[in-house]
Amino acid sequence: MRRRHFLGSATVAAASALLPGIGLAARADAISQRLLPRPLAPGDTVALVSPSSAVSDPLDLQLAREVMEALGLRVVTGAHYAERRGHLAGSDAERAGDLNAAFADPDVAAIVCTRGGSGAARLLPLLDYEAIRGNPKALLGYSDVTALHCAIQARTGLVTFHGPIGTGSWNRFNADQFRRVFFERELMHYENRIEAGDELVPRRNRTRTLVPGQARGRLLGGNLTVLTALAGSPYLPDFDGAILFLEDVSEAPYRVDRMLTTLKLMGVLDRIAGFVFGECTDCDPGDGYGSLTLAQILDDFIVPLGIPAYTGAMIGHIREQFILPVGGEVELDADAGTLRLLAPVFAGG
């Protein structure tokens, strides 16, 4: 298949997107009505873009293309998706231009981020939110892509998708999730896959109930570090009545404690209806005199809220992970350790 590059332009958002003072009113307007992306089907075209860190190995980009093609999709690439400027995949204008161009291109049905890393938050004032609102389509990625999920939800109300990146693992579980979410448009029931293996009782993918009960609300969240770094900006959605999900990687527990403190002081934790923590990969206390454990920190911050909450969901920097609709309406069952989608997340049902 011939490679097609669409031109990336340094399109910037309207001037209002640059003014921090518009925050609450803009967010209220954006989420007053949920915006659903167009459906995706085999044979459609997806764009591979690199909004964050550079992909160092060209083979990884080749594999990302082959994965999308193996799923039955056509592939176009951002004009700068293979660029490198320091740790970033090109300049801010180039990366934002690729993302804006992908949303504006009528031939592109969905956008898949090649990787996370760092740098997506630098693009938020440069995104064309009017064009995104006028051309709603699925955006897939996780980790640093959390910045895009938050900003797009805050400024447009568009449902986006937290899940595998293009250069990540596309094992059987992840590929099956992709087909069920995007092609079959299933009202997903997210429940950890648990296998005992040769153990007498299962040990992997176990969930832990923090506070029992059920709750319903809009699903918001993503990477804890990236989300809290947006504090004080107009790019965080309204968390009132939301189901908040979080994950992280390579963060010492004291830093997780600091970030949850930030969410508490911001008032976010006191406004949510339910809470899910996925995996905090490589987040051990480390050597020395020790620290609070992650379990203790969650008990300190989440249990006193008295809202349904559980930990251990298959969300985060792990090989098999859920594809979650950011902005979708879900029901959380903290006793069962599950999330259930309550309404379609694509236009037309």
Query: Catalytic positions, please?
Result: 143, 247, 317
Question: What stretch of H or E contains 241?
Answer: none
Q: Do the beta carbons of residue 160 and residue 149 sit within 8 Å?
A: yes
Cα separation values, 72 from 88, 114, 123, 140, 175, Å:
30, 18, 30, 16, 11
Q: Do the beta carbons of residue 259 and residue 225 sit within 8 Å?
A: yes
Strands (E), the chain: 5-6, 45-49, 74-78, 108-113, 138-141, 160-162, 189-191, 208-211, 214-223, 243-249, 274-281, 309-311, 324-326, 329-333, 338-341
Q: Which two tokens stand for residue 181?
A: 């979410």
Q: Which amino acid is at 343?
A: A
Dist. CA 13–CA 125, nearest whole Å: 7
Dist. CA 148–CA 136, nearest whole Å: 14
Termini Cα distance of the chain: 32
Burial of 183 (0-12, 13-18, 19+ CB in 10 A): middle
- Dihedral in degrees, nearest 10, Cα atoms 181, 187, 190, 191: -120
> Whose structure tokens read 């976010």?
268
User: DSSP string spanning 65-93?
Assistant: HHHHHHTT-EEEEETTTT--BTTBSS-HH
Dist. CA 217–CA 55, nearest whole Å: 36
